[in-house]
Amino acid sequence: MKELMNHDLKLITEAHSVPMLSIYLSKENSSVDVKVLSDKWKESLTRAEFFLLKDYTKSFVNNFMESLWSSHIVETLESLDKGLIVFFSSTDAWYLKVQSTISDLVVVADSFHIKPLIRIKNNESGFFLVSMSSKAISVFLETNGHLFRLDTYRNPMTLSDIGTNKVKPEDHREFVLQSALEINKTLAAYKLPIILAGVRDHLGHMRKYLDHSMILSDSIIGNIERLKRDEIREKCFEILQPFYNKKEEEAIAEIDQAVKKNHAITFIEDIAISAVYGKIRKLFVMENKQLWGSLNKNTGEIFISPRQTNSHDDDLLDDISQIVLNKGGEVVVLKNAHNLKGFIAAAVVTDKSHLYDYNQPYSTP
Cis ω on the peptide bond leading into residue 19 (within 30° of 0)? yes
CA–CA separation, 259 and 351 (whole Å): 14
* Whole-number pLDDT of residue 147: 83
The answer, yes or no, to whether residue 76 has pLDDT greater than 70, is yes
Q: At 221, which amino acid appears?
A: I
- pLDDT range class, residue 364, cuts 50, 70, 90: very low
Q: Is the pLDDT of residue 273 over 60?
A: yes
Whole-model pTM: value is 0.81
Residues 198/132, Cβ–Cβ less than 8 Å: yes
* Contact between residue 348 and residue 274 where contact means Cβ atoms under 8 Å apart: no
Q: What is the pLDDT, as a whole number, of residue 29?
A: 62
In angstroms, the Cα distances linking 25 to 14, 74, 96, 121, 256 are 23, 9, 11, 17, 33
How high is the pLDDT of residue 282? Answer: 94
The confidence band for 284, taking pLDDT boundaries of 50, 70 and 90, is very high
Measure CA of the first residue to CA of the last residue in the chain; give whole Å.
39
Instruction: Count Cβ atoms below 10 Å from residue 106 Cβ, excluding itself.
Output: 21
Domains of the chain and CATH, by start: 2-122 (3.30.960.10), 127-244 (3.30.420.60), 262-356 (3.30.1330.30)
As a whole number, mean pLDDT of residues 276-285 equals 94
Please say whether the beta carbons of 88 and 32 come within 8 A.
no
284 class by beta-carbon count within 10 Å (0-12 exposed, 13-18 middle, 19+ buried)? buried
Highest mean pLDDT out of 103-112, 162-171, 302-311, 356-365: 103-112
Q: Quick one: what percent of the chain has pLDDT higher than 90?
A: 42
pLDDT band at 255 (very low <50, low <70, confident <90, very high): confident
Looking at residue 163, its pLDDT comes to 47
Who contacts 43 (Cβ-Cβ below 8 Å, separation ≥6)? none
Residue 102 to residue 24: CA distance in whole angstroms: 7
pLDDT tens digits for range 162-189:
445 555 555 667 788 888 888 988 888 7
- What's the gap between Cα 38 and its chain centre? 24
* DSSP conformational letter for 278: T
62-69 average pLDDT score: 97
β-sheet with 264-265: strand ranges across? 264-265, 345-349, 280-286, 330-334
